[in-house]
Amino acid sequence: MRRFSQRSYLVTLSEINITPLLDLAFVLLIIFVITTPLLEQSINLKLPTGGRPDQHVDKRNVRTVEVSTTGVYLLDKQRMGLEQLTARLAAEFRSNPNLIVYIRADQDGPYKNVALLIDGCQRSGITRYSLRTEPTK
């Protein structure tokens, strides 16, 4: 009694087994889905409550500046110093006079950081800015 097949010659496999390839693709997909939200660089801010609901504003005219409690400034999620930030805002204001600066500052942070940013905006001629808050419930 033979355990193996009756064929004595070797048979070459002419088909590719794609199961391991699919397993690898699904694992990579899961890794990318999990890590993509972690790559977004932002500051964890606690905004003060109050204010009115937003009016309709063209998103192309808005630049968002975030100010942390330690004095770190982010312009559209890119970290930069105050001088570089105001220079970049001034350049954008020269090319787009409808520019609006949204200022998101932590409620527990020192007011000095926000005041320096507003002063830099005013020196650059930017008069349209908004201090962002959490809506009241």
- CA distances 32 to 24, 26, 43, 66, 117, Å, are 12, 10, 22, 27, 36
Contacts of 89 (CB under 8 A, 6+ apart): 63, 65, 75, 99, 101, 120, 121, 124, 126
Domain limits for position 116:
59-131
Beta pairing partners, 79: 74
In a domain, 65, yes or no: yes
Q: Is residue 7 part of a domain?
A: no
The enclosing domain of 120 has a CATH number of 3.30.420.270
**Residue 104 counted as domain residue:** yes
Count how many Cα atoms sit within 13 Å of the Cα of residue 1 in the half-sphere of its side chain: 1
- Indicate the pTM of the whole model: 0.61
Examine residue 14 and state whether it is found in any structural domain, yes or no: no
Quote the pLDDT of residue 84.
Answer: 92
| Domain assignment present for 15 | no
pLDDT in tens, 13-29: 677 788 888 999 999 99
Flag whether 25 is in a domain: no
Phi, psi of 64 (to 5 degrees): -105, 125
Q: What is the mean pLDDT of residues 21-44?
A: 81
In a domain, 46, yes or no: no
Structural domain contains residue 124: yes
What does the pLDDT look like over 65-121, one tens digit per residue?
Answer: 988 888 889 888 888 898 999 999 999 999 988 888 988 888 888 889 889 999 998
Split into its structural domains, the chain has a count of 1
Structural tokens at position 128: 């349209």
